Amino acid sequence: MTSTAARPDDVKSPGSVADPRRTSWPVLVVFLVPALAIYVGLTAYPAFRTIYDSFFTIEGLDATFVGLDNYRALMSDETFWVAVRNTFVWSFIAPVLDVSTGLLLALALYAGVPFARFLRVAWFTPVLLSYVVVAILWMWIYNYDWGILNEVLRAVGLGALASSWLGDPNLALGALIVTHAWKWAGFNMVVCLAAIHSLPREVLEAADLDNCGWGAKLRHVIVPMLRPTLLNLYILAFIGKMKIFDLVWIMTGGGPLWATETVSTYVYKRAFNWNTFDLGYPSAIAAVWFGVVCAAVVILNRVLASKDRLEY
């Protein structure tokens, strides 16, 4: 029989098998290598290769070093700046719509609207649809001639407001933002609903005892207590929208007149629709945008998370 009490001279150096939090190098390697290999092969290498390629002009199979030329050209590329503006509008404004819609739906369910079980499923369903399906569905809804939106407007005597929602540069970006919010509202609703249900019951009951109405309870109790959740959702939505591509590509292709061009659609156009095989310039756009997204997340983290620790 051996004693389980460790004597001082039995204490092993870090990394030895005696430390329950440590294991031997071979075991560490076995567990780490697959994950590291996937990370290096599918994330780190493509990212570094993109940055590397951005210093070259690549024609066919030949690469010519051009230093910072691609970055200089980018600074004077009007379309790039339009795409940046559109992406920022989408990324900063649309998450407010997404999160507030999700919160409202969650509150409706929490308040016990009729058919709550059905509505919960119905509102969440768009999250399960692919962007392709969502895009086609909303292209039908927005169709000028027979789309349901214009048909409803005409039916209620507001035919003058019927518009080419995706064909008018002043409306197209907004139309896409609404579509995107519709798709993700259910996700935000589920997260908000879970957060509402986890709020301390005694606080809500105390508010009730103080004759606090629904509006006041929402404003002074529920929303402040949900703040960390709402901020997390905002930042998640923000990151997703900085990379938005599929919905735009299917519904408008970045048009009309670049009104819905985003950085991602522009990178794709430069890489695949530009009568060239050059990946240098699109790599420069991607590299710049990678930096912008990282910087924006860090800034948002600092600004919004001064009191609440964010997790995403």
Partner 1 sequence: MRWGRFGCAVAAAALSIGCMGPALAQPAQINMWSNWPDEPAKKDWVSARVKEFEAANPQCAVKLSFIPKADIYTQAKSAVRTGQAPDIFYLEPDQPEFLAGGFLEPLDSYIDLAGLEDWAKPAWTSKGKVYGLPVEAYTVELYYNKDLVKKVGVDVPANFQLTQAQFTDLVKKGVAAGITPISQGVGDRPFPGGLVLYEALLRKLGPEDYGKLLDGTLSYKDPRVIEVMDWVKGLVDAGAYPKSFSTLKLGESHFYFYNTPGSLTFPDPSWFTGRAFAPPESGGMPANFPLGIMQFPAMDGGKCPECKTLAVAGSFVMYSKSKNKDCAGALLKSMATRDNGTKWMEQVSLQTGLASDPSKIKSAHADYFAELNARNKGVKYFFGTPLFHYRAKCAETYTQVMNNAFPAGLISVQDAADKMNAACFKG
Binding track over 2-41 against partner 1, x by CB under 8 A? ----------------------------------------
Amino acid at 308: D
Q: What is the residue-wise DSSP string for 151-165? A: HHHHHTT-GGG---T
Q: At 119, which helix (H) or strand (E)? A: helix 116-128
- Tell me the closest approach of the beta carbon of residue 161 to partner 1, in angstroms: 13
Residue number with CB closer to partner 1 (28 or 155) = 155
Measured from the CB atom, the residue of 54 and 101 that comes closer to partner 1 is: 54
* Smallest gap from residue 133 Cβ to partner 1 (A): 17
3-state secondary structure of 307: coil
3-state SS, residue 62: strand
Please give the residues from 158 up to 177 whose contact with partner 1 meets the rule CB under 8 A.
164, 166-169
Please count the other Cβ atoms lying within 10 Å of the Cβ belonging to residue 136. 14
Query: According to CB under 8 A, which one of 8, 20, 60, 215 is a site residue for partner 1?
Result: 60
Q: How far apart are CA 180 and CA 241, in angstroms?
A: 9
Residues 36, 38: Cα–Cα separation, whole Å: 5
Is 136 a binding residue for partner 1 by CB under 8 A? The answer is no
Residues 67-96 that bind partner 1 (CB under 8 A): 79
Window 237-256: residues binding partner 1 (CB under 8 A): 255-256
Cβ–Cβ under 8 Å, residues 138 and 225: no
Cβ contact 181:98 at 8 Å: yes
Residue type, 64: T
Nearer to partner 1 (CB atom), residue 186 or residue 280: 280
Residue number with CB closer to partner 1 (54 or 229): 54
Please report how many Cα atoms fall inside a 13 Å half-sphere around the Cα of residue 141, on the Cβ side: 13
Binding flag, residue 57, partner 1 (CB under 8 A):
no
With CA atoms as reference, report the closest residue to 222 among 187, 185, 188, 193: 193
Pick the binder of partner 1 from 25, 81, 274, 312 (CB under 8 A): 274
Binding mask 176-215 for partner 1 (x = CB under 8 A): ----------------------------------------
Which chain residues interact with partner 1 by CB under 8 A? 59-61, 79, 139, 142-145, 164, 166-169, 255-258, 269, 272-277
